[in-house]
Amino acid sequence: MRFSYFIVLVVVLSTFQLSGQSRQVIDLKEGWKFSKENIQSAYEKGFDDTKWQVVSVPHDWAIYGPFDKEIDKQTVAIEQNGEMEATEKTGRTGALPYIGDGWYRKSFKLSDVKAYQKVLLTFDSAMSQPKVYVNGKKVGEWNYGYNYFYFDITNVLEKDNVLAVHLTNQGESSRWYPGAGLYRKVQLIVKNKESIDHWGTFITTPLVSEDVAKVNVKTNVTGNNLELITTILDADGKEVASNGTTTLFDNQFDQNILVSNPNLWSPESPYLYTAVLKLYKEDKLIDEIFTKFGIRTIAYEANKGFSLNGEVRKFKGVCLHHDLGPIGAAVNTSALRRQLRILKDMGVDAIRSSHNMPSLEQLELCDEMGFMFLAESFDEWAKAKVKNGYHQFFEADVEKDLVNLIHATRNHPCIVMWSSGNEVPDQFGAEGVKRAKRLQDIFHREDPTRPVTVGMDRVAQTMKSGFGALLDVPGLNYRVHLYEEAFEKFPQGFILGSETASTVSSRGIYKFPVEKASMKQYDDFQCSSYDLEYCSWSNLPDDDFVLQDDKPWVIGEFVWTGFDYLGEPTPYDDKWPSRSSYFGINDLAGLPKDRFYLYRSRWNTQDETLHILPHWNWEGREGETTPVFVYTSYNSTELFVNGKSMGIKKKNHDTPQNRYRLMWMDVKYEPGTLKVVAYDDDGNSVEEQEIRTAGKPHRIILEQEKQELKANGEDLAFVRVSVVDKKGNPCSTATNQLQFKVAGNGTYRAACNGDATSLELFHLPTMKLFSGQLVVLVQTTKEAGDIQLKVSGKGLKMGQITLKSVIP
């Protein structure tokens, strides 16, 4: 098949003066009032909210804690983990207070709304089950907390307006931390009644060659006797093509526009065009929108696999949950950009939104930075995984939820595949097959240009029932032992690793003896960063590497997960304290674990990788066996301990681990220097790395990850904090308690150390180091200038850094 394509109490009354332009988009960010109470009358316009907390949106009320094992404590058997008996689970949804009711209220004025205009109120999602009121009148509700939705509020507007939103989060409604609140943006759109419909434009590129591209623009409108002129601009804003039409097919314009010598979108070259759509009536401009898009082709073909722009390639992907670690589920563009920047360095070229609909900001960044995207929709269909999950709404809501997903996001070139579900219990039996077809048909109807997959974990059953055979793309979650059989039985001619590995580790923590282990637990509730521990249903990264490298019909993988996330602390689901995952290639603070370099050594083909582990601070282990691993893009390296060679190791095919890792299993620990020298294929030394045994912590080091900050009140600086000894050697086992102070044109936002067992609150200005490091988040104000961050700790020389913010 081929597819082209906290608290300060103030009263804020926002006044929005409408200009003469044809359309105005107003962000409702500041001046919201919030209360985590169930107040039945809070929707009324005259309700007294003066004592409520003032917040900005996006907002996640639960991320401020506290962590509490009693929050959403569940006694369940997690079927996806192969559990047969129910046990107490305390950190499954992050142990944060997301359950219950929340109210948001905002006052605003809209000046001069004309009789010929309409006003839409749009939400990029709300967690969850929002009921929306304007001036005391209910204008609508929505159930799915991850979906985009909007209401026409024209008929309920007054001179002074009050918007009220009631949210209800049920316990046992998720398998991870879902967040709580208006955690994505809210907007008003003021436009003419005769105008381009909301999400009414669909841009595709059905024909692409080196010399020419056919750009098809379908535009749904409301009105009669209209003319649409569409102009295409290149990345520099120069016009490259234009087309005008007055021909309506029902309520849709259909334009084909020729672009000469097109620049094609790809992860390596994420070139974006802009379509400017101007709608006229009697030569008067009545609406105008700008839509970014990319020119590219995609194909999925038997025995060939996946192609982008005619070139076969394999997905080097990761799965991502929607929380952003210490700031929770509240969307922040700079935090998302940082995630993608880290993944880009690792060599990642694709993202899977797991297991829900992505934020629009994430998609925009993937378009811009060059990541292909597998956009997922649901974690449940009609059959339940959790007591109060999406199955409650499936029959009534699934079609409208899918339509909104597709219409809101289909112009993003990064999206190369849809997923209608993840590990749904409906994989069993005829009813599941029917549901899979029903959802796939909706995707095909609304977007014929992209295929549909489902992440299947019951692969044997889907081979028997026909479930896997009907999918455009058969997605296997784990089950590496069934890849061959699935390839033989499924008709598509290829297999996607829709979820892979689920290897677990804690950054900078190493356990002995070093051995492969499934669901291994330790007294400190950590996992070994030798990267040889995995889950009962999963496997090590190397097992997937073999499939990717040796089977041309395996079209790539999406690793579980790119970053740790709040909730689902396997293998410690039934242990406390443990409140976040261990699956991440990067920890919850965004700091790379050793596994980062294992993937980087394969996926980043532009830069060499040479990484040595473990750290070399093992007081009390003198003379004991302490294996040393090297993750590298080079084929051979030599290890030295205090100048003595431990021998040269070369990658080989004896075992999956020997193929991708260089391992010295018999090294005896002695304090000093550990050095590795890499050799090219001709035996020449080309790079080396060394680590040293450190003394006592002496000085705090601060490193800014980003050089330029925007003074917009939202941008975040991520500052890595570590400690070194008197000689400057990193103290990789340090756990000092540190304090943070911010002055100047910025504020302290949060800190995170990546420790899944830590109960310290992110928003308080103190935290312990974990494995010698943590990250401090500093937020800009709306005034440009210097921001000073000082970090101190008992007995340590203080660290300080000056950050600079500029007017955006």
Q: DSSP assignment of 504-521, as one string?
A: ---TT---SS---EES--
Bridging pattern class, strands 799-806 and 709-710? parallel
Residue 43's nearest CA partner among 106, 87, 125 is 106
Close Cβ partners of 575 (under 8 Å, ≥ 6 residues apart): 90, 91, 521, 525, 569
Measured CA to CA in angstroms, residue 550 lies from 304, 494, 626, 633, 661 at distances of 14, 13, 32, 18, 17
- Across 143-272, where does the E strand assignment appear? 149-152, 160-169, 186-192, 195-208, 212-222, 226-233, 239-245, 252-260
Measured CA to CA in angstroms, residue 770 lies from 377, 509, 616, 733, 753 at distances of 35, 9, 16, 7, 6
- Across 603-714, where does the E strand assignment appear? 610-613, 628-632, 636-641, 644-650, 662-664, 673-679, 685-692, 699-704, 709-710
Instruction: Assess whether 172 carries a catalytic annotation.
Output: no
The catalytically annotated residue of 423, 533, 568, 714 is: 423
Angstrom distance (rounded) from CA 227 to CA 283: 8
Give the three-class secondary structure for 318.
strand
Measured CA to CA in angstroms, residue 304 lies from 30, 207, 415, 546 at distances of 51, 20, 20, 18
Angstrom distance (rounded) from CA 268 to CA 143: 38
The catalytically annotated residue of 194, 499, 638, 714 is: 499
Q: DSSP assignment of 541-589, as one string?
A: HHHHHHHHHH-TTEEEEEEE-SB--BS--TT-TTSSS--B-S--SB-TT
Measured CA to CA in angstroms, residue 224 lies from 195, 228, 290 at distances of 10, 12, 22
The burial class, CB within 10 Å (0-12 / 13-18 / 19+), for 234 is middle
- Across 734-807, where does the E strand assignment appear? 737-744, 746-752, 766-768, 773-780, 785-793, 799-806
Angstrom distance (rounded) from CA 306 to CA 316: 12
Instruction: Assess whether 268 carries a catalytic annotation.
Output: no
Per the listing, tokens 């506290």 go with 66
Give the three-class secondary structure for 251.
coil
Q: How many contiguous H segments (helices) and E segments (strands) does the chain have?
A: 10, 50
- CB distance 647 to 664 below 8 Å: yes
DSSP 403: H
Residue 254 in tokens: 């259909």
Angstrom distance (rounded) from CA 508 to CA 530: 9
Angstrom distance (rounded) from CA 503 to CA 518: 9
Sign for the CA dihedral angle at 793, 569, 614, 557 comes to negative
Catalytic residue list: 423, 499
